[in-house]
């Protein structure tokens, strides 16, 4: 699915969770869900994230940059004896060297990224980030599971799985999902504001 679709699904997931919290935490949950819904596509050189950080949008450059950043985190974490930084470094290296819809679209990628986020939120006492990030990340995997391309859910095993019901990227059903999640998000926010007033 396209980045815009993941963004809208992630926003809807964040709003669904966030309306039950105070405003400050709700904003963090929604923002974290949006980030989580876009993050799995950092394995693609032309993803929304990589458009901002990669000067050259190709696989080789993506591999070099993420491997370099991951190695730096691993080295720095080793010098500080910080296991979380080492794990972040290894996770970024794996992100750099794997194909699109591989590691970051797998249970292993989900577990590593959400574990890192959980530990960081505990370390820095940031409420709402973890729950939003997990919801967004899972929404991304489910959405891509529904496409023809599928996902390598059990990476490192090269078994591509997808739903029997497939949604064509850019097709009618994807446009329907964008409109549906937009209407849903506005409806939930509107109802919550009416209840709160």
DSSP 61-101: HHHHHHHHHHHHHHHHHHHHT-HHHHHHHHHHHHHHHSPTT
For residue 194, the model assigns a pLDDT of 67
Q: Which two tokens stand for residue 130?
A: 């973890």
Reference 105, options 146, 46, 75; nearest CA is 146
End-to-end distance of the chain based on CA atoms, in angstroms?
A: 37
Structure confidence by residue, pLDDT tens digits, 134-159? 999 999 999 999 999 999 999 999 99
For the chain, the domain total comes to: 1
For 155, the domain range is: 3-44+126-196
- pLDDT-above-90 percentage for the chain: 89
Cα gap 128→171, rounded to integer Å:
34
Q: Are 6 and 105 in contact (CB under 8 A)?
A: no
Structure confidence by residue, pLDDT tens digits, 116-125? 999 999 999 9
Task: Tell me the sheet residues that pair with 151.
Answer: 161
Does residue 16 lie in a domain region? yes
- pLDDT-above-70 percentage for the chain: 98
Does residue 12 lie in a domain region? yes
Contacts of 64 by beta carbon, 8 Å cutoff, 6+ apart: 96
Does residue 155 lie in a domain region? yes
Does residue 10 lie in a domain region? yes
Structure confidence by residue, pLDDT tens digits, 36-90? 999 999 999 999 888 888 888 899 999 999 999 999 999 999 999 999 999 999 9
pTM of the model: 0.94
Q: Are 160 and 180 in contact (CB under 8 A)?
A: no
């Amino acid at each position: 699915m396209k980045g815009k679709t993941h963004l809208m699904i992630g926003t809807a997931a964040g709003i669904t969770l966030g309306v039950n919290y105070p405003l400050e935490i709700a904003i963090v949950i929604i923002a974290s869900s949006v980030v989580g819904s876009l993050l799995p596509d950092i394995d693609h050189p032309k993803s929304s994230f990589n458009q901002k950080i990669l000067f050259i949008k190709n696989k080789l450059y993506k591999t070099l940059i993420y491997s370099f950043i991951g190695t730096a985190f691993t080295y720095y974490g080793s010098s500080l004896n910080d296991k979380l930084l080492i794990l972040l470094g290894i996770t970024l290296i794996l992100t750099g060297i794997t194909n699109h819809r591989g590691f970051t679209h797998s249970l292993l990628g989900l577990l590593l990224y959400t574990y890192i986020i959980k530990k960081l939120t505990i370390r820095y006492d940031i409420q709402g980030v973890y729950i939003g990030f997990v919801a967004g990340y899972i929404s991304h995997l489910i959405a891509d599971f529904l496409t023809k391309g599928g996902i390598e859910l059990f990476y490192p095993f090269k078994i591509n799985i997808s739903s029997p019901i497939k949604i064509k990227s850019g097709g009618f059903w994807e446009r329907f999902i964008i409109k549906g999640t937009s209407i849903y998000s506005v409806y939930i926010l509107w109802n919550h504001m009416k209840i709160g007033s």
